[in-house]
Structure 1
C-alpha cells in the first residue's frame, strides 16, 4: 500500500484529570500527542500505512511516545533518537471542551532537524507527506523541512500536505512565521488550516475569500475548518464547497484537526488519488464524500478525552448510522 509519512513534533499533552478541587493542586494525566503523532496514529487506525518522522527525546516520555506509535501500527523506523528533551503542553479545557495550550518547548528535540537526518529517515514508498505545526515554522529545523517538501513537490513523487497549526504563545517573530507559512502553503498540494489560524495569519480575513485565494496560488485543495461550523474546501478552479460537520457530544477537541487531516489522507489512499493532477480532476461528489468522512473522523475524536481518533471499524459503523 502507498505510505503516508508524517513529519513533525511529538508532544506530551498534560490534560486535567477531572474538575479541580478547591484548595487542592490540579492533577494531570499525560497523553501522547503532537500534530505529527496524532495524524500518524489516526491514519494507521483508519487502515492506512503510516510512518512517523520525528526526533524522540530520552526518558519515560520518549518511551511513552514511541510505544504509543508502535502499538497503534505506526511505522517507527523514521523516529530518530535525540539527546534533547521531549516537548510538553499543559492543556486547559473550556466548558465546551475546546482546548487551550501552554507549551514548554525551549531546547526540545523537535526543532533540531538537519537535512542529513531527514534524508536518512525518509520512508520508502511515501505517496503522501504531511508537515506542519510548530516544527514547520520553528528554526533551525524548519528550513530543512521546507527544503525536503519543495524537492518532493518538484519531483512529483508524493502529495505534499501542510497544516500551519499556529501556536501564538510560542512565536517570537510573527513576520518570520507568516513568511514561512506562506512559503509552505504555496509549496503544498493540500492545505488544512483552521479559522483560528487564518485570523492570526491575516486578522480580519474573510474565510471564503482567503480559501479561494490560497487555492489559486499552488495547492490542489484548501480545507478550512471552523470548529462546529461548516468547513470550507476550495479548489483552483474557483469551486468553494461547504460541509457541516456531524453534531456530537464533545468531551474535548484535542487532536480533532489532526484526525480530520488523517481521515482525508486515508480517503485519498483508499481511492487512489495520489497526485496533484488526480486531486484536481477528482469529481465533486467524490471529493464531498472524502470531506464528509474526514469530518466524521474528527467528530468521533471529539467524543473521547485526548487525541484518541476512531478506528476504521468505528468510522464505518458511525457512517452507517
Structure 2
C-alpha cells in the first residue's frame, strides 16, 4: 500500500477501571478511544500510527504492555507529568452503556508526526484536556488544508473531564474549524447544546467548516450531513454485551470507507455528494459498531468479520424487499 496513505491517530492512552453491576472487583482495562480507533483501522488493513503518551506509573506499565501486544506502530510522546490517565467506567446493567469519571493527564511535550501522514484523527480527552489540547489543535492546523491531507475528529464528549459547557463548546468550535470530518454521538451533542435536537446541532457544526458531519444514534443508527445533502441509516439489531468501544469501531470503519488510494493530486478522503452515497458510506460503520457491542470491552471487527456481517445485512434487506414486492 502506498506509504502516503498512512493514518496518524493522536490522543491519550489510559486505563479504564471497569465496574459492572454486582461484580465483587473492579477490572483494570488498558486502552482509550485513540488506541481503540487505531486498532480498528489496523484490523481493517490500514497502515496506522498511534501517537500517544503514558506515564511512569503502574497504570502506565499496564498501558505499555497492552500496546506492545496490539501490533500497532506506536510513537510515545514524552509527558511533562509522567502520569497516566485513569478512568472509572460504570457499566449499566440494562443497556450495557458506560458512564465515566476521569483523573486525566494529557500533557505531551510534543506530538511527532511523520511527513507521510495523509489523515490525522483525534478527539476525546486529547481535544479538551490542557495543556495537550493546544498541541493537538496546532497539529490539526498544520495539516488541515494541505493538498492530499485531511483531519478527522471524534468529539467523544467527556463532561467529567471538562464540566464547563461554554469552555467545551469553544474547544469544539476551534477544532471543527480545522477539521474535514467530524463525528459525534447524540449524547455528545445533547450535552453540548441541551436545548437543541442533536440532528440540528450536527447540521450547525457544518458552519465551522467541516465537509462532513456524522451523528451516531446508538441502536437507532446514524445520520450524515454535508453542506449539500444528508442521509440516515438504521443499525442492526444485535444482542448487546456492552457498548464500550462501539463508537470507536464505528469511527475506524468510517475512516476506512472515506480514505482514497493516495494518488498524486487526490484528496485524502472522498466525501459523498448525494444522499444515496451517504447511505452507502454509513452502512459499514453502523455494522462495525453493532458488532463491537456483542463483545465485552473494545473489540473492533476485522475486515472478514465486517464483510460477512454486511453480506448478512444485505441478504436480510433483500429478503424483506422480496416479501413486500420490492426490488
TM-score by length of 2: 0.86
Match of 2:50 among 52, 55, 61: 52
The separation in 1 between residues aligned to 2:71 and 2:258, in whole angstroms, is: 19
Following superposition, the deviation at residue 260 of structure 1 comes to 0.7
Match of 2:210 among 195, 219, 224: 219
Aligned counterpart, 2:113: 122
Structure 1 gap segments, 5+ residues each: 21-25
Following superposition, the deviation at residue 67 of structure 1 comes to 3.6
The separation in 2 between residues aligned to 1:172 and 1:250, in whole angstroms, is: 29
The separation in 2 between residues aligned to 1:303 and 1:272, in whole angstroms, is: 34
Match of 1:71 among 69, 72, 89: 69
Query: Retained in 2: the 8 A contact 1:45–1:73?
Result: no
TM-score by length of 1: 0.87
The separation in 2 between residues aligned to 1:172 and 1:27, in whole angstroms, is: 28
Following superposition, the deviation at residue 84 of structure 1 comes to 1.7
Does 2:12 align with 1:14?
A: no
Distance 1:70 1:283, change over 3 A: farther
Match of 2:238 among 248, 263, 272: 248
Match of 2:108 among 104, 107, 113: 113
Distance 1:316 1:72, change over 3 A: farther
Secondary structure of 1:315's counterpart equals helix
Q: CA RMSD in A?
A: 2.2
Match of 1:235 among 219, 226, 250: 226
The separation in 2 between residues aligned to 1:315 and 1:219, in whole angstroms, is: 27
Query: Retained in 2: the 8 A contact 1:193–1:224?
Result: yes
Does 2:90 align with 1:92?
A: yes
Match of 2:285 among 290, 294, 309: 294
Structure 2 gap segments, 5+ residues each: 313-327
Aligned counterpart, 1:23: none
Distance 1:18 1:213, change over 3 A: closer
Secondary structure of 2:270's counterpart equals helix
Secondary structure of 1:166's counterpart equals coil
Q: Report how many aligned residue pairs link the two structures.
A: 305
Deviations 1:24-74 (A, max 9, x none): xx3122222211111111111111111111112124532432343343332
